[in-house]
Structure 1
C-alpha cells in the first residue's frame, strides 16, 4: 500500500512538472503572421493604430520583431511583436514614430536597438545619436575622484533610412559594461585602479538624439509616449547639451 501511494505521488509530481513545462515553454518561434494578420493584431492591440500599410518586419532577435507601419491617416507608427506562449503577439504600439531604445536583453547592453519610423512630412534630414556620460568629481572615503565625460556620436541619414532598427555599436556596449562595473565596485584603493573609484553618486549615462531638420521643415508639437519594460526613452538634445572640440 505504501509503495502504491509513493508511485501515485511520483506520477502526480511528474504530471505537474509536465503541465508547468508546457505552460512556460515558448518553443521555437513559428513563422510570422502575414501582413493582413499583423495589421489586424496592431489595430486590436491599440485602436488608435489604424494600421493600413506595414512597411517592413525587422527581426531584432529570434523572439522579437519590429514593425514600422503607416496608419490610414498617414501617421507613422511602430509595433513590436514577441514570441510568447507559443505564438506571436503584439506587445506594444507607439504612434509617434520618434526614436527610442528597444531592449532585447536586460543583462547585456549589446541587447539594445535604437528604433524609429520617421514621417517624411517632418522633413528630418539626419538623426545624431549620442551616448553621454556626465563628468563627475568629488571625494569618497577621503580620496578625490574624477569621472571623465563620455560623448560618442552616431549619425543616421533619415532621408535614406526613414525607418530602422540600429543595434548598439560595440563601443557603446563596451563603455556601458565598464560603467556598470564602476558603479558596482566596492571601496577600493584608488591607486590600484584609477577607474574603479568608489563614490557616493553613480555616474549618469544615457542615450539622446539631436534631429537635424531641413530649412523648410514645419514646426512640430510635442508627442507623448508610453512604454513597457523593454522601452527606454531618448532625451531630445540641444546644441548646448553637447561638447564640441575647441578650434585653434
Structure 2
C-alpha cells in the first residue's frame, strides 16, 4: 500500500513538473504574423495606434522584432513583438517614433538597439547619438576619486534611414563594461588592500541624441513616451550639453 501511495505521489509530482514546463517553456519562435495580422494586433494592443501600413519587420533577436509603422492619420509609430508562451505578441507600442533604446538582454550592454521611425514632415536630416559619462570628483570610504568626462558620438543619416534599429556600438558597450569594473575596483591605499576593502566610485553614464534639422523644418511640440522593462529613454540634447575640443 505504501509503495502504491509513493508511486501516486511521484506521478503527481512529475505531472505538475510537466505542466509547469509547458506553461513556461517558450519553444523555438514560429513564423511572424502577416502584415495584416500585425496591424490588427498593434491596434488591439493600443487603440490609438491606428496602424495602417507596416513598413518592415526588423529582427532584433530570435524572440524580439521591431515593427515601424504608419497610422491612418500619418503618425510614424513603433511596435515591438515578443515571442512568449509559444506565440508572438505585442510587447509595446510607441506613437512618437522618436529614438529610444530597446534592451534585449539586461545583463549585457551590447544587447541594445537604438530604434527610431522618423516622420519625414519633421525634416530631420540626421541624428547625432551620444554616450556620455559626466565628470565627477569626491571621496568615498576615505578614498579620493576623479571621474573624467567621456563623450562618444555616432551619426545616423535619417534621410537615408528614416527608420532603423542600430546595434549598440561595441565601443560604447565595452566602455560601459570597463566603467562598471572601475566602479567596483579595490581602493588604492595600503590599509585598504590589507583588509581587502573596496570603494564605490560614483559614475553617471547616459545616452542622448541631438536631431539635426533642415533649415525649413517646422517647430515641433514635445511628445510623451511611456515604456516597459525593455525600454531605455534617450535624453534630447542641445549643443550646450556637449563639449567640443578647443581649437
Identify the TM-score tier after normalising by the shorter chain. over 0.9
Aligned length: 242
Q: Following the alignment from structure 1 to structure 2, what is the Cα–Cα distance between the partners of residues 105 and 143?
A: 34
Q: Which runs of 5+ in 1 are unaligned?
A: none
How far off is 1:143 after superposition?
3.0
Do residues 165 (structure 1) and 140 (structure 2) align? no
**Distance between the aligned counterparts of 1:6 and 1:184, measured in 2?**
51
Cα drift, residue 138 of structure 1: 1.4
Contact in 1 for aligned 2:207/2:234 (Cα 8 Å)? yes
TM-score normalised according to structure 1 size: 0.94
Q: Over residues 68-90 of structure 1, what are the superposed CA-to-partner deviations in whole Å (9 max), with x where a residue is unaligned?
A: 00001110000000000000000
Query: Alpha-carbon deviations, 1:81-129, whole Å to 9, x = none?
Result: 0000000000100000000000000000011000000000000000000
CA contact (8 A) 2:98 2:116 kept: yes
- How far does the alpha carbon of each residue in 1:171-230 deviate from its partner, in whole angstroms, 9 at most, with x for none? 000111112223334x5226899xxx834x620000000000000000000000000000
2:123 counterpart residue number:
123
In the alignment, structure 2 segments of 5+ residues that lack a partner are none
CA distance in 2, matches of 1:140, 1:79: 43
CA contact 2:129–2:209 (8 Å) conserved in 1:
yes
Matched residue SS, 1:90 = strand
- 2:65 corresponding residue in structure 1: 65
What stretches of structure 1 move > 6 A for 4+ residues in a row?
Answer: none
TM-score by length of 2: 0.94
Aligned equivalents of 2:213 and 2:152: distance in 1?
21
What RMSD, in angstroms, separates the aligned Cα atoms of the two structures?
Answer: 1.6
Residue aligned with 2:105, SS: coil
Q: What is the CA distance between 1:139 and its match in structure 2?
A: 2.1
